[in-house]
Chains A and B, each alone.
Chain A
Amino acid sequence: KQEVTQIPAALSVPEGENLVLNCSFTDSAIYNLQWFRQDPGKGLTSLLLIQSSQREQTSGRLNASLDKSSGRSTLYIAASQPGDSATYLCAVNRGSGGGADGLTFGKGTHLIIQP
């Protein structure tokens, strides 16, 4: 059974710092990995999708890496801003026989950027 772990569970840093969020998964047989952010009481916003054949993806100040063999992904946020405050979720798509098997999510990292 796939399990996804995110460390740390919570993080509070001053504005302007660069930071790294970690995600690990137990089964390396994945189709892709997706990072989301969730604001309080809201739905999920997709940040980055990394296919299993890729090593990293970048979007603006965000960079996500994937090491499938070791079961790890990191989300790097450069020059953090108060608007980055949210819960960040990592999810893996295991796939099953060519189809989708649902996303398996970590519990998230609650990030607070202090002004």
Chain B
Amino acid sequence: KAGVTQTPRYLIKTRGQQVTLSCSPISGHRSVSWYQQTPGQGLQFLFEYFSETQRNKGNFPGRFSGRQFSNSRSEMNVSTLELGDSALYLCASSQTRGVNEQFFGPGTRLTVL
């Protein structure tokens, strides 16, 4: 069974631009969560989607948004990029919400210049 896939793997953007990242969960998994990883803050929860609805959101500004499609694939969007948005963005999928094991993708490395 294929694992979680994320595209693109690397992105370079300039301040003020916007970016869209994509995540395809493991087949049969319906919950997708997004995390930001930086050297200073570590891994932080962004949001979770289940059945095309955002179920939970971490403490991030409204510039960070996402959506989930009927096939469970998810995208996250960051608008008006700031230098501090440079990070590894990780997507995780699980079979359903709550207590299931979460499986992570390889991440998208975003650099904002």
Contact = CB atoms under 8 A, between A and B. Distances in A.
B107 A102 contact: no
A50 to B, nearest CB: 10
Contacts of B64: none
A100 B31 contact: yes
The range of chain B's interface size is 20 to 34
A104 B45 contact: yes
B58 interface: yes
A114 B16 CA distance: 45
A36 interface: yes
Interface in B55-92: 55-56, 58, 90, 92
Given A43-B90, A89-B43, A103 B102 contact: yes
Interface of A: 31-32, 34, 36, 41-46, 49, 51, 89, 91, 93, 95-96, 98-108
24 contacts: A31-B99, A32-B99, A34-B102, A41-B109, A42-B107, A43-B90, A44-B90, A45-B104, A46-B103, A91-B43, A93-B98, A95-B98, A99-B56, A100-B31, A100-B48, A100-B56, A100-B98, A101-B45, A102-B56, A103-B45, A103-B102, A104-B45, A105-B44, A106-B42
